[in-house]
Amino acid sequence: MSAVPGSEERFKESLELAVKYAKELSCSKIHILAGLKPTSSPKGNVRCFNKMEQTYISNLKYACSRLKKDNILGVIEPICPQAVPNYFLDSFYQAMKYIKLINEPNLKLQLDFYHLQRLHGNITENLNMFFPYLQHAHPSQVQCPSLSGGVVSNRPFELYRDALKTFREFIESSPLMMIYNSIYNRGNTYY
The per-residue pLDDT string of the chain (191 residues; one tens digit each, 9 = 90 and over) reads 898 899 999 999 999 999 999 999 998 999 999 999 887 655 557 788 899 999 999 999 999 999 999 999 999 999 999 888 999 999 999 999 999 999 999 999 988 888 888 888 887 787 778 888 877 776 665 444 444 444 445 555 566 566 555 444 443 444 333 333 333 334 433 33
With respect to residue 190, please indicate whether it lies within any of the assigned structural domains.
no
Specify the number of domains making up the chain. 1
Q: How far apart are CA 173 and CA 187, in angstroms?
A: 29
How many other CB atoms sit within 10 Å of the CB of residue 70? 13
CATH of the domain at 137: 3.20.20.150
Q: How far apart are CA 92 and CA 130, in angstroms?
A: 8
With respect to residue 187, please indicate whether it lies within any of the assigned structural domains.
no
How high is the pLDDT of residue 159? 62
How high is the pLDDT of residue 155? 59
With respect to residue 1, please indicate whether it lies within any of the assigned structural domains.
no
Q: How far apart are CA 37 and CA 24, in angstroms?
A: 32
Q: How far apart are CA 128 and CA 113, in angstroms?
A: 13
How high is the pLDDT of residue 190? 37
With respect to residue 78, please indicate whether it lies within any of the assigned structural domains.
yes
Give the neighbor-by-neighbor strand order of the sheet with 134-138.
Answer: 134-138, 107-112, 73-76, 29-32, 179-181
How high is the pLDDT of residue 98? 97
With respect to residue 2, please indicate whether it lies within any of the assigned structural domains.
no
DSSP string for 110-162: EEEHHHHHHHH--HHHHHHHHGGGEEEEE-SGGGSHHHHTS---SHHHHHHHH
Phi, psi of 154, rounded to the nearest 5 degrees? -85, -5
Cα torsion angle, 136, 138, 142, 148, sign: negative
Upper half-sphere CA count for residue 60 (Cβ side, 13 Å): 32
Q: Please give the model's pTM, rounded to 2 decimal places.
A: 0.73
How many other CB atoms sit within 10 Å of the CB of residue 145? 11
Q: How far apart are CA 19 and CA 180, in angstroms?
A: 11
Residue 36 domain boundaries:
8-181
How high is the pLDDT of residue 131? 80
Q: How far apart are CA 115 and CA 77, in angstroms?
A: 9
How high is the pLDDT of residue 186? 41
With respect to residue 3, please indicate whether it lies within any of the assigned structural domains.
no
